[in-house]
Every structure is written in structure tokens, then in C-alpha cells.
Amino acid sequence: MKKLKGNLLYGQSGGPTSVINASAYGIIKEAMENKDVIEDVLVMKHGINGALNEDFFFISQESEENIDLLKHTPGSAFGSVRYKMPHFKEDETDYVRLLYIFQKYNIRYFLYNGGNDSMDTCLKISQYMKYVDYEIRVIGIPKTIDNDLPYTDHTPGYGSAAKFIANTLMEISCDMLAYPKGKVTIVEIMGRHAGWLTAAAHLATSRGFGPDLIYLPEVPFSIEQFKRDVRRVYGEKQQCLIAVSEGLKNEDGMFISSSSALKDAFGHFQLGGVCTKLSQILNNEMRISSRSIELGTTQRAAAHLQSLTDVNEAIEVGRHGVKYALAGISEVMVVMERTSTPDNPYVIKYNKHPLNEIANYERTMPESMITPDGNGVTDEFLEYVLPLIKGENTPVYKDGIQCFTKLN
Amino acid sequence: MKKLKGNLLYGQSGGPTSVINASAYGIIKEAMENKDVIEDVLVMKHGINGALNEDFFFISQESEENIDLLKHTPGSAFGSVRYKMPHFKEDETDYVRLLYIFQKYNIRYFLYNGGNDSMDTCLKISQYMKYVDYEIRVIGIPKTIDNDLPYTDHTPGYGSAAKFIANTLMEISCDMLAYPKGKVTIVEIMGRHAGWLTAAAHLATSRGFGPDLIYLPEVPFSIEQFKRDVRRVYGEKQQCLIAVSEGLKNEDGMFISSSSALKDAFGHFQLGGVCTKLSQILNNEMRISSRSIELGTTQRAAAHLQSLTDVNEAIEVGRHGVKYALAGISEVMVVMERTSTPDNPYVIKYNKHPLNEIANYERTMPESMITPDGNGVTDEFLEYVLPLIKGENTPVYKDGIQCFTKLN
């Protein structure tokens, strides 16, 4: 095979994870080990916007320390974007501009790091470049704490977020146990359509300190069932810890977080996020004192509690993206397949899957991982998630505060 | 001096910190090294309630592993309580009962671990036991993430909470930087009367990723000034990260979190916690998209991010409590004094201070640590707080999840 010489263009898109920059590290390292083919790595500032605006970081100009710290830096170190590209048959403007940029910088490798929407962007760009006969290899690099991409055992970013949720819920549970008659505490966890991250709260319960009830977006949420569940647990324990997904929907498929999905007994709409609304209902209708915790973006940004397994896999996913591209493969997303060997129940094999089967498809939790009463998860889920949170990627601390990449 | 042989009674009171159990560890270890005098350590279940109910843990019956894990366990491992004892001249019931229990179990050392209210309990018990001529040595062991106890440079628990706040705000800031035009994010931090913990958010800013504005309970909160501050920062940066204390008060001294303290432009009272209320005002009155993060009890329970300095000091404070008691000292709280030597700018000397000057007194931040415009902190504060967060007390992980003490 003739070597396709040129530059590699990389970008980050969608919500950050605590290990998306570890994938960037893997891509950069693999590219630098193939300098005979890949001359430099350019990174778009704020994803595809950076390409359209000709706004790049040139990795050859960054320090080795900054590259190394990518393994420990949360957020999107190069900036992210939420931009849905139109299909080129509807509007060619962006694509004509991209072609000009690709030619100007001799971009022959395009690696884009994101979730479902980003895979859609990858696919559209690849299709256009084929259409205009510009030779380029386009690879999708998965990331999302939501763990909702199909054809991969899990996604980089999920393991670290799950580890953060497990350890944080365990700590919240310990704190609650201080008082004999406690409150109801409701913790809201990210995940608009899939409950993978909320389910990880059960890891804490499996160690004796964790939520009593878990509500997932896969199960239609019934406020009456919720009240019965809380009444039962509170009656037994005088306290109750609850993990809820931000994506809970009522029986009509309407998000509980939307103001018209949930009324109290007096017909008033509840305000606030899911946990605030449910907390108000417990306080007002059941006279049970409750409080809510919204962890917000800390869930996807907690670099200080990364799973080492997750970091290493994120790096490898990046490296494999470059390897596939160098081998002439294009229009695929890197995926992970879980295999077992007699010596090791958890072995990951890297592979690839066509982008057109991945873009815009969301993978939710299977029924077999959710308890029949819909307020907990099964051992099958525990076996699935446990290997993903193993190992600690010890942060780089200076005087008690983490060191992160600061790009030029 | 004649040795006072007997048992040591220990208890935890008030809100937990992530290192209160490290003080328990210090007390237990020091007591066990003085078995010729102290026969066993009894721990009250749920603080003074456990003494009144004759409900104890006997440390001689606990495993060494469980004792060791106290250094890593958040919450109050032995249970806590919020109970304000009446003075014995008003109501002697509790004191008569305590005297009976002390005699029954030959309690000669009473160490109580808590904040202002707990020191008040210590003092009252000591005064009563003197009054009835029962020989016992009573020592207060400080703890509080609020850092508001007087006559001590700082309190055990504060350093770890400050470290958690600094690192978490840094991560939230990194996450926000992903998008070019971001939101306003408001993070609510614990501290009803003192701003020490909220101020620690500035540690993140000092490293280049942190809040732009900090509002403390020491400064009367003006909603108009707040809006001007946000408008200025948002105009410059298109995003803004804000740390607010849960204890913010308006110019009339009323908590912003109380529903009648804050009205929007239409005269409607705002609902929710401080951060939710301020977020609503930005959304509704300034049309700036904002979100709020309520970290809740994670701030005082984050055992996975303990400051090693804090853990070691918490242990030492416990050990010194026992040492003072064995030396015949009573009715004092252990305090820490900061001294500097030519080789080391931060040296802690342990000392004691009479309980009657400590009980029910709250120490707030001095003016010199707050910027003149009231929305930030000064370098003097940074110098004060930096040594307190140094070093990591690496958690004990099993398969990615922390191990905590589970008592019999």
C-alpha cells in the first residue's frame, strides 16, 4: 500500500469526559511515532468550528509536559462544540470550506472524538470527501459518560464517571448514617436517555454504603410507585438514599424535569431539576424531610478520581484510530470488544465498526440489568461495570492542587 | 501526680467531616499506648445520646483493620447527634443520668469531638461533675469544615474540605472552558456564618482555572452589585464561574436562602437554595443562561480527596487530647498554633484553651482576607490556606471502590 503522507487533524466535540484528553494523548503519541507519514498533528479549536475558522493548535509547538498532562486533564483541552452539520446535498457551504482547509494544510487523516452526533459529523464529512474525490481517512473516536454508543462494549469516559458516582454515593451514604433518624437524600445523576451512569450508584450499595432506590430513564417513572417505595424504605430505616437519572420520564414519555410533567397533589407544577421536584413532593405531600444534591458537571470532570482502566483504554482507542487510518481504513468508529480468557475474565480487544451503523443511534440498558420492580439493578449489571472502574490514575498534584494542561 | 485509672469515653457530635474519624483514631491509639491507666475506650453511639442510653462501642472488641480504616472513613463512624443540653441548674435530669453511667463504667476521661455546640456540652458536663465532685477530665476535640472555632489557627476537617472545593472548582472551570460562549455556573458551598470554605475556591483561580467571583457571608449581599459583577465578567469572557456561600445574607441580615429574602424584578419570592435563586434571577432578569451546582454533603464527606496535612493534624489533635487528660488537665479544647521557623514557614504547635472562652463563639473571616469590593479574597488568605491542603492521604481502594470502617 502506498503511504498517504500528510497531516492529521483531530478535534473534540460534545460534552467533555474526564478522559477525552487521554484519547487525544493516544492519538498524538501514535502519530508522533509515525512521523514518516504523519508530519504534524493539528487540533481544531472548538471542534469542527476550528476547522471552518482555520483556528488550530499545532502539536509540534506544544511542550512535552503539556502533552503528558493530557492524561490527567478534564474538560475538552482543545475546546468543544455542539454543531450539527447539514447534509452536503442540502447545503454544501461548510463542506466546500472544509475541502479548501484540508487541501491548504494537506490534511489526510481526520479523527473526531465524540458521541452520537459527532459520529454523524464524521460520516457526512467522509461521504463528501469521497464525493469530491479528496483522499482522506476519517475515523470516529468514541467518548461519552452516558455509555450510549452502540457496537462497543462501553465508551471511554464512562468508567471514570461510574467510579466517581460509586465513590461519591458511598461517601454521601456514610455521611447520612451519622444520624439515627435521617432524611431522604436524592442525588441527581447525568444521562438523558440511558441509565448506565445512574446505575453505577449501585456499586456503592454492593459495598454496604449506597442508595436504597435507583430510578432509570429506561423505566417509565410513576410518582405513586416512587412514594410507595420511599414510604417502605423510610419506614424500615428512618432514612433513604435515592439515585435518580436526570432523564426520568413519566408514563407519557415526558421528561420529569420539564415543568409540565409533574404536578403535586394540589395540581401545581413543580419547579427545578428532577431531584428538586421529587424532594418538594416528599416534603409537601409526605411530610418527610428531604434534600437534593445536583452533582452537575463534576460527574464528567472529576479528573482526580479517574479509573486507570478507563484512562488506558481511552489512550488505546486513540492509538488504534491512528493505526487503522494508517492501514488505509476509513469511515469507521473504534470499538471495544470484551472477551474472556481462562486467566482473565476481562480482556478488551480493539476493533472498528462502520460509522453509518453508529451515527444517531443510542444504546440504553437492557431489561436483564434492571430489577423487575424497576427501582434497582441486577448482578448482571454489576459484573458488567466492575472491571471498568478498576485502578487509580494517580493525579499530578502540586501543593495539593492538580496540574492540568495549559495549551499555548 | 496520682494516676487516675479508669475508662475513656469518646463521642462525635454535629456535622461530620472527612477526618473526624482520624481524630478518633488518634485518641484510640494514644489511649491504647497508656493501658496502665486507661483500661478501655468506650465510644458513645450517636454522641451524648449514646451515653444517656447506655449504648456503646467497646474498642477492645473491634478489629485492628477497622481501627486503621478510621483514617480513611468519612461521616461519623460512631454516629453523631445534634442535642443541646440544658444547663444543670435548669434541668438536672440528663446530668444525673450521666453521673450514674460514668460511675457504672468508671469513666474518668471524657473526650468530645465537635464544633461550637459540642464545646458547650463539654463545658456543662465538666461543670456539673465538679459540682457533684466526681473526678473526671473533660477535653474538647475540635472539628468542623466551617473553620469557625476561635483560639485555634484552623480546625481539623477544614483542610480536606478546602482541598475538595479547590480541586472540584478547578475541574468545573475546565469543563466550562470547553465551549467558547458558555454559561454562568453558580456553585453553592457550605458555611452558614463563616466564608472560610467558600473562600478556598480561590485556590483554583490562583492556578488559572477557577471562579471569577466569590461571595461570602461576611459581606452583606447586594443583588444589584451581583448583577453588575456578572454583567462585567460575562461581557469580558462570555462565561462566568461563581462560588457562593450557602450563608449569604442580604443588607438586612436575612439569609438569601430564606424565601422572603430575595425577590425578582416582578416582586416574586425566589424558591430553592441560594444558587438556584441567583440562577433564576440571571435567567429571568438578565436573560443569561445559567446553571447551579449544589455539592451538598459531598463537601464534608469526600474521603477520597483528604489533605494529608489535615489527616495527620486530626490524629495529633486526638492524641494531644488524651495526653492533656493524662497530665491532669481538664475543661479545655485542644488548639493548633501556627509558628514559623527559619527552615519551615508552617509549623503547628499543639496547645489547649479553656472551654469557657470557646463555647458558642464563631470566628469569621477577617476583613484583611476579603477584597475591598467584597467579591473575592486576598493573597493573605491564600498564604493562610495553602499549607492546610498539602499532601494526599491515598485512599484504600478495593477494585476501584474505597474501603471504610464497618463497626460491629
Q: Do domains A6-144+152-157+305-359+391-402 and A159-301 have the same CATH topology?
A: yes
Chain A residue closest in CA terms to B19 = A175
Distance of CA B376 to the CA centre of its chain: 22
pLDDT at A5: 96
Interface probe, candidates B401, B404, B408, chain A, greatest A C-beta count within 10 A: B401
Chain A stretch 132-161, residues whose beta carbon is closer than 8 A to a beta carbon of chain B: none
Among A146, A148, A229, A310, the active-site one is A146
User: Which residue type occupies A201?
Assistant: A
Lowest mean pLDDT among A108-117, B287-296, B396-405: B287-296
B396 touches chain A (CB under 8 A): no
- Cβ contact, residue pair A174, B276, below 8 Å: no
pLDDT at A155: 98
pLDDT at B183: 87
Mean pLDDT of chain A: 94
Judge whether residue B390 has pLDDT over 90: yes
What tens digit of pLDDT does each residue of B36-91 get? 999 999 999 999 999 999 999 999 999 999 999 999 999 999 999 988 899 999 99
**Helices (H), strands (E): how many in chain A?**
13, 13
B362 touches chain A (CB under 8 A): no
Lowest mean pLDDT among A101-110, A252-261, B243-252, B273-282: A252-261
Q: How many CB atoms lie within 10 A of CB B271?
A: 14
Interface probe, candidates A168, A279, A401, A403, chain B, greatest B C-beta count within 10 A: A401
Contact in structure between B277 and B184 (CB atoms under 8 Å): no
- Phi-psi sector, B12: left (phi>0), alpha (psi -120 to 50), beta: beta
B177 touches chain A (CB under 8 A): yes
**Cβ-based contacts of B295 with chain A (< 8 Å):** 293, 295, 298
Which architecture, in CATH terms, is A6-144+152-157+305-359+391-402?
Answer: 3-Layer(aba) Sandwich (3.40)
Q: What is the mean pLDDT of residues A156-176?
A: 97
Contact in structure between B10 and B44 (CB atoms under 8 Å): yes
B129 touches chain A (CB under 8 A): no
Contact in structure between B54 and B90 (CB atoms under 8 Å): no
Among B120, B146, B229, B310, the active-site one is B146
| Sequence spans of domains, chain A | 6-144+152-157+305-359+391-402, 159-301
pLDDT at A83: 87
Min Cα distance B349 → chain A (Å) is 21
Judge whether residue A317 has pLDDT over 60: yes
- Cβ contact, residue pair A301, B171, below 8 Å: yes
Chain A stretch 252-271, residues whose beta carbon is closer than 8 A to a beta carbon of chain B: 271
- Cβ contact, residue pair A293, B296, below 8 Å: yes
Residue A369 gets which letter from DSSP? G
Residue B348 gets which letter from DSSP? E
B181 touches chain A (CB under 8 A): no
- Cβ contact, residue pair B293, A295, below 8 Å: yes
**Percent of chain B having pLDDT more than 70?**
96
Judge whether residue A51 has pLDDT over 60: yes
Catalytic, A379? Answer no
Chain A residue closest in CA terms to B393 = A400
Hey, what's the cell of B49?
A: 445520646
- Cβ contact, residue pair B174, A204, below 8 Å: no
* Residue pointed to by grid coordinates 478534564: A74
Q: How many CA atoms lie within 13 A of A175 on its CB side?
A: 23
What tens digit of pLDDT does each residue of A258-300 get? 866 666 656 666 556 899 889 988 988 899 999 889 899 999 9
- For B173, phi and psi rounded to 5 degrees? -60, -45
Contact in structure between B160 and B346 (CB atoms under 8 Å): no
pLDDT at B271: 56
Strand positions, DSSP E, A204-282? 213-215, 240-245
CATH entry, B6-148+304-359+391-402, from 3.90.1150.10, 3.40.50.1000, 3.40.30.10, 3.40.50.450 = 3.40.50.450
**Percent of chain A having pLDDT more than 90?**
82
Q: What is the mean pLDDT of residues B335-352?
A: 92
pLDDT at B272: 61
Judge whether residue A70 has pLDDT over 70: yes
**Percent of chain A having pLDDT more than 70?**
96
Judge whether residue A2 has pLDDT over 90: no
How many residues are recorded in chain B?
408
Taking alpha carbons only, the member of A257, A232, A15 closest to residue A113 is A15
Min Cα distance B16 → chain A (Å) is 7
Judge whether residue B385 has pLDDT over 70: yes
Query: In angstroms, how far apart are the furthest CA atoms of chain B?
Result: 73
Chain A stretch 13-42, residues whose beta carbon is closer than 8 A to a beta carbon of chain B: 15-16, 18
Q: Are strands A240-245 and A184-189 parallel, antiparallel or unpaired?
A: parallel
Please, what CATH class does the domain formed by A159-301 belong to? alpha beta
- Cβ contact, residue pair A400, B390, below 8 Å: yes
Q: Decide if domain B158-301 falls under CATH 3.40.50.460.
A: yes
Distance in angstroms between the alpha carbons of the first and the last residue of chain B:
37
Contact in structure between A288 and A234 (CB atoms under 8 Å): yes
Min Cα distance B317 → chain A (Å) is 21
pLDDT at A166: 98
pLDDT at B6: 97
Write the residue in A15, A79, A293 that is nearest to B294 by C-beta: A293
- Cβ contact, residue pair B301, A171, below 8 Å: yes
* Residue pointed to by grid coordinates 485556590: B203
- Cβ contact, residue pair B178, A79, below 8 Å: yes
Judge whether residue B143 has pLDDT over 70: yes
B345 touches chain A (CB under 8 A): no
A189 touches chain B (CB under 8 A): no
Judge whether residue B267 has pLDDT over 70: no
Min Cα distance A172 → chain B (Å) is 6
**Cβ-based contacts of B305 with chain A (< 8 Å):** 304-305
Rg for chain A (alpha carbons), in Å? 23
d(CA A205, CA A176): 14
- Looking at this predicted complex, what is its ipTM? 0.94
Query: B259 versus B273: which is more confidently predicted?
Result: B273
Chain B stretch 272-301, residues whose beta carbon is closer than 8 A to a beta carbon of chain A: 272, 276, 291-298, 300-301
Min Cα distance A298 → chain B (Å) is 6
Q: Are strands A184-189 and B332-339 parallel, antiparallel or unpaired?
A: unpaired
Min Cα distance B373 → chain A (Å) is 27
Judge whether residue A1 has pLDDT over 80: no
d(CA B185, CA B170): 13
